Structure 1
């Protein structure tokens, strides 16, 4: 397995194109097509069958990343989708076994390397510059932002690395947000309450000022994964680009914008520069009035927001022959982006409090990467009985949007949901092994978290969290031994067979 990208040579730079070149070395990891595609729903409609996976409506599957070389109406652009829609592919891009991704990310947080600013002449993202003051400037015709479905509120940028600075402290933050194209130079930006960039925006707005911001699209996948860490692992003021630096053992390179006082990722394919305007809101679905925004990670289309902040675009810069990267909201790409950093955060917090108790963590795709975690518990003696539930409580503390925690023993594969369900079937009794925690704030995009669904819920976004303890009590361990088989060399019987 190659670890080329995670261990770059000194002075080397890695970007989206290097990631694609790496994937081309493997069978079934990358495909491209020259068949013209419409970015309005058709592109996502194709990839839904090719490799979306996740919580996408069936039929779907896990498949290769895909590049569309010809996008109708945008002859100079290609579109990439599904780069991170496979855990195996993420592991290859980061240079570790897929079972060790959480450990790699946890270590990168503790060995973070701050980003650096480079001169503009070295910034590939500024090879071509379009200023909003140019005659005919229109992001709707300049950039092929896709719509996921025919009922979307409009074209969306779904994998833009949004980067801005705290107007009071100068500290930076990078996150991914729902960005809807609203006009020739306007993009709406949806914030789930509590996001750090929204705190920066609020500070600027209270001072009556716009917040300069850049949106970098098509970057090193280490940046995309690192950007998805959340508090308490990355508190307000922690620049998640430093995690990508830790992953690559080399600082992420930034460049000063050409039209706004903000920094962008220097080797991005595309950068949108703009300002979040104070006291200016638009209806997210102002052009469709459908009440719907776009498909989100739980598998449902998110409700259009009545009033969302607006970025006034000042410039668009890009590389020659640029690649616009996108994802399908409920796909494995989204759940991997959310889930793998969550695994790292849980593992880190539990290890600090209860060393050696949790062997691994998995936030599987059916759990959306945010709502469900499976913890592999290593009970070492009677003193560990009960600590598995303490580990679950710590998991909720590590990631506030977590809804369900499953606890399994060390002989259960947390990455195999069939094995997890087997444990729940044979090592769990609902009346004694279900622990509920009602009335806790979670994530507003879960449609079941609403008073209309359950009278126990006081307000939308409140949920009943639950722990499912599927571990065997220590004093009964001897009664729950899995059947042991003879170790054999299968290659004697099937030459070339790859044993797990």
Structure 2
């Protein structure tokens, strides 16, 4: 894989864009005015969203909209991480080595550091809630993905807050809907660490100070999406981004609340999660829908979600608002690559050298499906492939299906995986079902209405598909071997 010039290091969103511009196929711009209300996402659905988005769609370049209806001072970027190759180019590693690369960053984490800069990049312009005419809806071009969304959403906002008891920090991406001139609702999937911080503060009758950083170094966005057990409660995922870049992520003090923000962010929203205050997520539209989520369906609007009371919005000069489509490949990469690293870490500790690689592909949403490539080195390794699958389920609770393949099958080529399933799998002996296990609430099939075997919403039957050859039969399953040749002699410039 070709890489960009080493003279263009990636340190923030703007340098990431500059990196992509060194490639012919990774970035495009348009000066045509676009409406952030459904039209912007409608355009990108065709240009490059891919993932579980409604067809027709395709995997394409990141796209910058330079003219946003109603917001002349902003540009909007979408699809920055919408291809695995693009992520690899931004992190300077081969696409198939991303999982191992992220695992190394976890093992060599670098804690973030607070800087005392008189005017950090993210605070070049500051809007305060008490300013006359302050209104989030007019200030920031938060898009709606579809005409039936509950409202405008920030989909690439990195929420950062501290445990009110211990001071430990956590950063995650959440569903953030603009509800009014200074209010944003925040949906938490049960168990998220920031929600634990919010609950602690609420039980003490206190607000939780929080910042939302938008438009940062993509290494931070990827690192943010790690989950337990790799990152237990109290583990600051920004330290993984530090490990990826080999230097600490720089933070600054918020201008209006007792919290910290990412210093080079394009936009920061500062506020407080208000105790004992909830709103209906679709209170302004009544659609019953929230926004498109990663499984490819629009999530239901929640009847009562916590609220951030916004205190200030600092941003850069000529800011870029970054967004994504929830069901695009951008989510697959954000969720799936850290999952690959987590599974590799767990299996390597228990079964050293056995699992060669892991892929969480787009059709599996980055969360629900993993392909594990294993190497059986002796008869004693027979059966360990299924143990590896069980470890994967333990490492990532939202995982639903695991496919096991041999070392001669490319886990990143789903055609090759299905070939292995066709020729190395018998359903009656190679399907292992584990019913009644908690999984993920956004999968609509995980509901008693879908199957009477499911006791409650979010419970699933987890399944292992063992598409590996039994060790004692490996000599009967050798792929046809071709001559190694220098293809470039015949097709100049050819690359595999």
C-alpha contact 2:202 2:275 (8 A) present in aligned 1: yes
Once residues 467 and 148 of structure 2 are traced to their aligned partners in structure 1, the CA distance between those partners, rounded to angstroms, is 41
- How far does the alpha carbon of each residue in 1:327-381 deviate from its partner, in whole angstroms, 9 at most, with x for none? 0010000110000000000000000100000000000000000000000011001
Once residues 424 and 279 of structure 1 are traced to their aligned partners in structure 2, the CA distance between those partners, rounded to angstroms, is 51
> What residue is the counterpart of 1:274 in the other structure?
271
> What residue is the counterpart of 2:189 in the other structure?
192
Deviation at 1:490, TM superposition (A): 1.6
Once residues 483 and 181 of structure 2 are traced to their aligned partners in structure 1, the CA distance between those partners, rounded to angstroms, is 67
Which secondary structure does the structure 2 equivalent of 1:136 belong to? coil
C-alpha contact 2:110 2:242 (8 A) present in aligned 1: yes
1:285 counterpart = 2:282: yes
1:485 counterpart = 2:482: yes
1:69 counterpart = 2:82: no
The correspondence of residues 83-162 of structure 1 with structure 2, limited to 5 A, is: 83-162=80-159
1:33 counterpart = 2:34: no
1:372 counterpart = 2:373: no
Deviation at 1:488, TM superposition (A): 1.5
If the length of structure 2 is used for normalisation, what is the TM-score? Answer: 0.99
Once residues 26 and 494 of structure 2 are traced to their aligned partners in structure 1, the CA distance between those partners, rounded to angstroms, is 21
Once residues 302 and 250 of structure 2 are traced to their aligned partners in structure 1, the CA distance between those partners, rounded to angstroms, is 35
If the length of structure 1 is used for normalisation, what is the TM-score? Answer: 0.98
The correspondence of residues 310-389 of structure 1 with structure 2, limited to 5 A, is: 310-389=307-386
- Of 56, 60, 65, the match for 2:53: 56
Once residues 433 and 119 of structure 2 are traced to their aligned partners in structure 1, the CA distance between those partners, rounded to angstroms, is 55
Deviation at 1:3, TM superposition (A): 6.8
> What residue is the counterpart of 1:413 in the other structure?
410
C-alpha contact 1:3 1:96 (8 A) present in aligned 2: no
Once residues 489 and 234 of structure 1 are traced to their aligned partners in structure 2, the CA distance between those partners, rounded to angstroms, is 45
Once residues 443 and 278 of structure 2 are traced to their aligned partners in structure 1, the CA distance between those partners, rounded to angstroms, is 24
Deviation at 1:486, TM superposition (A): 1.2
- How far does the alpha carbon of each residue in 1:64-87 deviate from its partner, in whole angstroms, 9 at most, with x for none? 000000000000000000000000
- How far does the alpha carbon of each residue in 1:69-108 deviate from its partner, in whole angstroms, 9 at most, with x for none? 0000000000000000000000000000001000000000
> What residue is the counterpart of 2:248 in the other structure?
251
C-alpha contact 1:167 1:203 (8 A) present in aligned 2: yes
Gaps of 5+ in 1: none
- How far does the alpha carbon of each residue in 1:403-455 deviate from its partner, in whole angstroms, 9 at most, with x for none? 00000000000000000000000000000000000000000000000000000
Once residues 199 and 84 of structure 1 are traced to their aligned partners in structure 2, the CA distance between those partners, rounded to angstroms, is 29
C-alpha contact 1:404 1:468 (8 A) present in aligned 2: yes
CA distance 1:163–1:458, change in 2 (3 Å) = same
Once residues 234 and 7 of structure 2 are traced to their aligned partners in structure 1, the CA distance between those partners, rounded to angstroms, is 25
Count of aligned pairs? 495
Which secondary structure does the structure 2 equivalent of 1:483 belong to? coil
Deviation at 1:4, TM superposition (A): 6.5
Which secondary structure does the structure 2 equivalent of 1:234 belong to? coil
Which secondary structure does the structure 1 equivalent of 2:422 belong to? helix
Deviation at 1:6, TM superposition (A): 12
> What residue is the counterpart of 2:214 in the other structure?
217
C-alpha contact 2:8 2:15 (8 A) present in aligned 1: no
